Structure 1
Amino acid sequence: MSSKTKNIVILISGSGSNMAAIARTAQQQNWQRRFGARIAAVVSNRADAGGLQLAQSMGVPTQVLSHQAFDSREAFDAALMKLIDGYQPALVVLAGFMRILTPDFVHHYAGRLINIHPSLLPAFTGLNTHQRAIDAGCREAGCTVHQVTAELDHGPILAQASVPVLPDDTADRLAARVLVQEHLLYPQAVEAWLQSQP
């Protein structure tokens, strides 16, 4: 194992529940000792994101970079790359980061940028995944951790977890059950990625 610290930067826009699940697992499973890895920072594009306080309560440094301060997606992503690169990240984790990233950003972090999506990809890319699964008559739904590529929700799949779609499900009820699996799957996928690194 390399002696160099493997810094992980997590990007959020909201409550940060997946971020918190990863940070808790990093502490409980002692990623620092086992993999030389640590959550170096949590970055949000929204100053009011609940996950910022959550990260701070766990001792994780936070930063805010508002996309509203930039006149283009490209300008924001360039500034975001500069901020992230200050931490020399081994891995950049999207955890409810509600921005479509530019090809330049995705290319810059190729092979070290991952996301979680609330469907069993390749099914139901994009939004409203739970209602679409119900409307399609699916018997199973779930979540997918994947590498991020320039095509939305199409990168190589790293891990998946499924839940049954119940006869009386609403999108909200199904989403709540899938979220439980997300909080288990995402930390496991990050740990597996760390184990795969030299």
Structure 2
Amino acid sequence: MSQREAARILKINPKTVVRKFRFAITTAKEELKGWNQKFQPCTEVEFDDLETFEHTKCKPLSVTLMVEYRTRRILGFEVAQMPAKGRIAAFARKKYGPRADHRSQARKKLFSEMRSFISPTALIRSDSNPYYPKDVKRYFPKARHETILGGRGAIVGQGELKKLKWDPIFSLNHTCAMFRAHINRLFRKTWCTTKRADQLAGHIALYALFHNRRLATGKGGSS
């Protein structure tokens, strides 16, 4: 929910919500790493990008996310800016100028961190993005990389779940759908937008901790 709604329900000052949020996110990503260090290296993982924006859709952001197959445990993520694409690309360049694409750097940073959580000979799945194989080969040279042809988004799952009889990267897509269902600023239709990419990263880290801990207690459903 929004920060103002949280303040209303808890009957506290909105400034208190902001302070608590900023305090919690300072260590959330490190806590996520500490949580994942408790487990054996993963032998089967999935990764892809989830797209959102900061301030306006003319300033898109990419969230590169990696999860363990079957368990849907979130291993890590990176947030990066990217240029606008599609029908609004020309308008975005005209209004805000050229926008650098940092997705490659973020992906490399994520893969570098994930090497301690993933078996060197793991099976890694992703969609058919042409930039993925080279980076996977560089950071996981002994791993087997499977690329999946993407499908159309279904009505359910905020467009993240696919209209496929069997989705080979369901664990990843299901987790992305849960991001959009539980993080207000990632809703498909929302007025709570991200103003700073670092605050989005902190928010995702907080949710990832909640998500993983709930899975560990056997309460990791989509409800």
Q: Same fold (TM over 0.5)?
A: no
TM-score normalised over the length of structure 1: 0.36
* Structure 1 or 2: more helix by fraction: 2
Give the TM-score of the pair, scaled to structure 2.
Answer: 0.33
